[in-house]
Amino acid sequence: MKALVFDDFGGPEVLSVREIAEPERSKSAVIVRMKAIGLNFADVYRRKGNYHLVGDPPFILGYEGAGVIEYAGEDVHHVKAGDRVGFADVPHANAELVSVPADKLLPLPEGISFETAASVLLQGLTAQYLTHDSHPVKEGETILVHAAAGGVGQLLTQMIRMKGGQVIGLTSTNDKAAVAKQMGADHVFLYGSDWVDSIKDVTGGKGVDVVYESVGQTLMDSFRATKTGGTVVFFGMAGGDPEKIDPRMLMDTSKALIGGDLWNVLTTHEERTRRTAELFQWILSGEIHIKEPTLFSLENGADAHRLLESRKSSGKLLLIP
């Protein structure tokens, strides 16, 4: 089978497509023929060597995708060959065939395409737990969303609006600001501006109720933009490591810092399928809109990495075997 692989850490140029052995079949194995594969910044970090990779070269990136079950071992009972499925956290997804643990398979309902599933599973489930578990959004709250034109940011914005909240978005360019407004943001400010002051202006000097912080280096500014008694939900550091927090600041301002990680939520097969079914229902009902993804062939995976790293894309990038 063909797979997008690399032997050494580095830039997109280290990636190439080559023939490798197919996954082994066994009584407990499920093998999925991939139709669409989600590209995420974690793939970039792993390619560069910033994230730990298990095993020896050639390394295969990718954790998210959708396809059709080609083989299900005799000990697997809840899925069968021919089923349309997706997954959000299975390694080695950048290949024509992927071995997937049965408990991580997510059924795709009619109306959810392979491209939609591969576009939304990881980022959609992230936005879902952030607005339901980390901080359950309440009607009337004003919430700041970092990277509001990004994959998680677009979904966060829509879910907050769906729950009755108002959204202030932060983006890096005017083009991305337009995307954030299309998704429902009430106000959008640029990172290069005095955005903390602007947020104070539009909130009557108080600040926002909640911040969804994914940049890292902006953490202290996020606290400055939060009202007394407000909450900052920290779930990523795409822009670099955050400053250390003095708990006395939290005490003095009655503010809260909450951490969030998807894998502390998706702990069972039942939890995965329940949350995914809810996410897909929001899409099918039109409550959540998924921006059309940009497609690359598996052979052009290096070009997809270049576009992702350029931060010029505003929708999901998919690899198509």
> The domain spanning residue 52 has which CATH number?
3.90.180.10
Q: Which CATH number covers residue 230?
A: 3.40.50.720
Per the domain annotation, does 244 fall within a domain? yes
Judge whether 171 and 149 are in contact, CB under 8 Å: yes
Per the domain annotation, does 230 fall within a domain? yes
What is the rounded (10 degree) CA torsion for 174, 180, 184, 185?
A: -70
pLDDT at residue 310 in the model: 86
Judge whether 120 and 144 are in contact, CB under 8 Å: no
156 and 176 housed in the same domain: yes
97 and 161 housed in the same domain: no
pLDDT at residue 190 in the model: 97
Q: Which residues pair with 222 in a beta bridge?
A: none
7 and 106 housed in the same domain: yes
**With a threshold of 0.85, does the pTM exceed it?**
yes
104 and 9 housed in the same domain: yes
Distance in angstroms (rounded) separating the CA atoms of residues 298 and 187: 38
Distance in angstroms (rounded) separating the CA atoms of residues 269 and 106: 9
How many structural domains does the chain have? 2
CA distances from 305 to 89, 238, 293 (A): 19, 15, 14
Per the domain annotation, does 127 fall within a domain? no
143 and 246 housed in the same domain: yes
pLDDT at residue 248 in the model: 96
Per the domain annotation, does 126 fall within a domain? no
Distance in angstroms (rounded) separating the CA atoms of residues 160 and 143: 8
Query: Which amino acid belongs to residue 269?
Result: H
How buried is 241 (Cβ within 10 angstroms: 0-12 exposed, 13-18 middle, 19+ buried)?
A: exposed
pLDDT at residue 52 in the model: 76
SS3 call for 306: helix
pLDDT at residue 238 in the model: 80
Instruction: Please give the structure tokens belonging to residue 237.
Output: 């550091």
Per the domain annotation, does 134 fall within a domain? no
99 and 151 housed in the same domain: no
Nearest to 106 by CA among 303, 278, 290: 278
pLDDT at residue 51 in the model: 80
228 and 148 housed in the same domain: yes
190 and 227 housed in the same domain: yes
65 and 50 housed in the same domain: yes
Q: Which domain, by its residues, includes 156?
A: 139-259
Per the domain annotation, does 295 fall within a domain? yes
Q: What is the DSSP letter of 95?
A: B
Point out the residues of the chain with pLDDT beneath 50: none
253 and 273 housed in the same domain: no
Domain end residue (candidates: 259, 277, 301): 259
Domain end residue (candidates: 210, 243, 259): 259
pLDDT at residue 277 in the model: 97
Per the domain annotation, does 71 fall within a domain? yes
Per the domain annotation, does 183 fall within a domain? yes
Cis peptide before 321 (omega within 30 of 0): no
SS3 call for 205: coil
pLDDT at residue 309 in the model: 87
Judge whether 317 and 39 are in contact, CB under 8 Å: yes
281 and 309 housed in the same domain: yes
Domain end residue (candidates: 240, 259, 278): 259
How far, rounded to the nearest angstrom, does the alpha carbon of residue 119 sit from its chain's CA centroid?
A: 9
111 and 177 housed in the same domain: no
